[in-house]
Structure 1
Amino acid sequence: MMPTLGLIEAFDRHGALLARAPITRWPVTVGRGLDCDLVLDDPFVAPTHLRIDRAADGPRIVQVEVLETRNGARLQRKHHGKGERFDWPDGTPIDLGRTHIALRLADTPIADEQALPQFPWRTVASTAALVALVMAVALGSSWLEARDASKYLKSLPGVLLSLLLFLGVWSGVWAVANKVFAGHLQFWRHVRIACTMYLVADAVQLVSHFAAFTFSWETLAHLAYLLMVLVLAGGLYAHLAAVLPRRRVGLAWTVVAVVALGVPAWLGAQWLNRMRLSDALYMSSLFPPSLRVAPAVPVEQFLQETESLRGKLDRRLRDDGHADDDE
């Protein structure tokens, strides 16, 4: 019996084991050919794709040679083409086509035994707390907007049902994508991401309007939706990173590029259509006057600013009237 020098394994993109071969001699070949030591059933892998050998100048250095292949091999986001050689660090997977291969040497220390997973009480508690907090915030917002207590009480079941339905559908769609691309549903993880995104968006809106009221920063209230876009982009990135954990860097740059291109385009469209960068003409959220820090505006200054605003409105009405006449 020849001693086992190591173990080479192949996994699919979901982490499921596809093939395994013990190493009893060096070098080892990998490919679709039946004469290879590790045979892969992957159409994007060459008949003899890699040759793996133990280096003579190091006790634990493994060298890989890329053979007759058009797709090459990828190690830690670095692509190696035909004829290249590179060292293979222990414990780092190599991507071949749509297959990941891993190597474990016989002299590699074995990790300690792990305890069996217990029921995730902490995760369940955090998810339940986030859902409850989202429901409380939604009910609070509905109460602030309500004018009649009886109508508010009648609307409570609809508000709660709509919120739960939205969370379920939104998280369910992401969970299906997670199952397709990563092999795991992770429904409750996407629920937590959605709840966090909702709460952060509500907090950002509250803080921006409160700061605009307190310090008379009207521009902050008018452009608060831009902060909401950033929150939405962060939430989408969190969902995408859960679906494609191996593509976090690329996903981050993609989200940044979409925001960087989409926001200026949206602002330009707003300016061309309305000659302003926001739909809001004034601050819609009012707080107790005692919370204001900015000094009060004198009556004369207020009247002057009102007159200037009236002039702008008159010009806008004349422009709209001329546009109607032209049509």
Structure 2
Amino acid sequence: MTALAVIEVLDRDGQVRQSQRVLAWPLRIGRALDNDLTLPDPHVAPHHCLLDMDAQGLVLQALDTANGVQLGRQRVRSGERSPLPDDGRPLELVAGRTRLRLRRAGESLAPELPLEAAATRTRRFGPTLAAGTGLALALGFVTWLDSDPDTFARSLGAAALTAVMGAAIWIALWSLLSKTFTRQTAAGWHLKVFLIGSLAWMVSGTLPGLFAFSLSWPALADFGFVAGHAVAAATLYFHLLAVEPNRARLMRGVAVAAFVVGTGITLWSNHQRSDRLGSDLYLSNLFPPALRLARPVPAEDFVDGLAALQPVLDKKAKEAPSGDGGGSVDEE
């Protein structure tokens, strides 16, 4: 007999876990053994729903169920009937916590995907190799700046070992989380996200100070931590995509919330520490003078600008030092 449709049971990441041909309508779905499709889901009723054909076409009817059936944004409750759209595409519905996909005869199919050949390895692994190489060069450069020539080799080895161990632990934890939720480790994806995110984080920590020095805009360096928080939030989002690939909107919400909370905590901490929202009291980033684009300030104008600091300094001088409880100090 020619199949009228195929009903598929999907797992969390959208892969087909079970498939059954539909040879005649109606199709009964539930937890009891006398159904056409039996679902081992405790949130599914013994006779949960059925798909049947009437004058309007294919319809969904919810049976004696407390949870109903989710059809797109519509929930079909017990005893209700809802016609199923026939737009030539597969139809997804949720019974209990089980995702189902109905494919009807005559629906258009996506074109066949080609097998990934060896020529695509550069496209697949190129970004990972580029990010890893860039991160290694950046780590070596920073170590070279911070160490003496006699201790450079030892310092570089220690920094490399620390970076490799930290990356291995980070990727292993994310891979374990992905394995728990999707039954796939996605270790290659987490490695790529870690390398690109780490490189972007190092760049975000340098560029604000460079532009602030070049353009003489101290606010860029003062609030450069916002760029770092944005990179961290984006990295978190792409990690979470491998854990919950079907909830991209929720994962974006989590990443945005992390960015807002992290930025807010940093602003509050800066204000508590220095009565300022920014992180730097002055422009402390020094780069080669050739990168300086702003016009130099004459010495006379610079000295005149210092006069505005006098009232602030006088006010600070009259304040009690922090940590003494605000009490006055007896003078002899």
Mark yes or no: TM-score above 0.5: yes
SS of structure 1 residue aligned to 2:99: strand
Unaligned runs of 5+ in 1: none
Aligned position for 1:175: 175
What is the deviation of 1:95? Answer: 2.1
String of CA shifts for 1:73-114, please: whole Å, max 9, x gaps. 234455443325141554233222222212233434566655
How is 1:1-327 mapped onto 2 (pairs within 5 angstroms)? 2-15=1-14, 18-57=17-56, 62-82=58-78, 83-87=80-84, 90-108=89-107, 114-118=113-117, 121-122=121-122, 123-146=124-147, 148-306=148-306, 308-309=308-309, 312-313=312-313, 315-316=315-316, 318-321=318-321, 323-324=323-324, 326=326
In structure 1, distance between residues paired with 2:115 and 2:129:
24
Whether the aligned pair in 1 keeps the contact of 2:9 and 2:98 (CA below 8 Å) is: yes
In structure 2, distance between residues paired with 1:294 and 1:258:
36
In structure 1, distance between residues paired with 2:144 and 2:6:
63
Change (3 A) 1:262 1:111: closer
Look up the equivalent residue of 1:274 and give its one-letter code. Answer: S
SS of structure 2 residue aligned to 1:324: coil
In structure 1, distance between residues paired with 2:254 and 2:215:
36
In structure 2, distance between residues paired with 1:199 and 1:311:
43
In structure 1, distance between residues paired with 2:45 and 2:264:
46
SS of structure 1 residue aligned to 2:191: helix
What is the deviation of 1:157? Answer: 0.9
String of CA shifts for 1:209-245, please: whole Å, max 9, x gaps. 1110111110110110011101111111111112111
Change (3 A) 1:249 1:55: farther
Change (3 A) 1:84 1:220: farther
Unaligned runs of 5+ in 2: 328-332
String of CA shifts for 1:269-324, please: whole Å, max 9, x gaps. 42134201133222232112232222212212322444544664564354243752
Change (3 A) 1:106 1:249: same
What is the deviation of 1:142? Answer: 1.8
Whether the aligned pair in 2 keeps the contact of 1:31 and 1:38 (CA below 8 Å) is: yes
Change (3 A) 1:264 1:17: closer
In structure 2, distance between residues paired with 1:86 and 1:33:
25
Look up the equivalent residue of 1:69 and give its one-letter code. Answer: T
Count matched residues: 322
Moved more, 250-259 or 163-172: 250-259
Whether the aligned pair in 2 keeps the contact of 1:19 and 1:40 (CA below 8 Å) is: no
What is the deviation of 1:192? Answer: 0.6
Look up the equivalent residue of 1:177 and give its one-letter code. Answer: L
Change (3 A) 1:322 1:251: closer
Moved more, 233-242 or 260-269: 260-269
Look up the equivalent residue of 1:87 and give its one-letter code. Answer: L
Look up the equivalent residue of 1:283 and give its one-letter code. Answer: L
* Higher helix proportion (structure 1 or 2): 1
Whether the aligned pair in 1 keeps the contact of 2:13 and 2:246 (CA below 8 Å) is: no
In structure 1, distance between residues paired with 2:21 and 2:157:
61
Change (3 A) 1:264 1:298: same
Whether the aligned pair in 1 keeps the contact of 2:43 and 2:67 (CA below 8 Å) is: yes
Moved more, 303-312 or 170-179: 303-312
SS of structure 2 residue aligned to 1:64: strand
SS of structure 2 residue aligned to 1:300: helix
In structure 1, distance between residues paired with 2:125 and 2:264:
41
String of CA shifts for 1:247-277, please: whole Å, max 9, x gaps. 1012212322343344234313421342011
Whether the aligned pair in 2 keeps the contact of 1:74 and 1:80 (CA below 8 Å) is: yes
Moved more, 160-169 or 222-231: 160-169
Change (3 A) 1:266 1:84: farther
In structure 2, distance between residues paired with 1:109 and 1:295:
64
TM-score using structure 1 length: 0.87
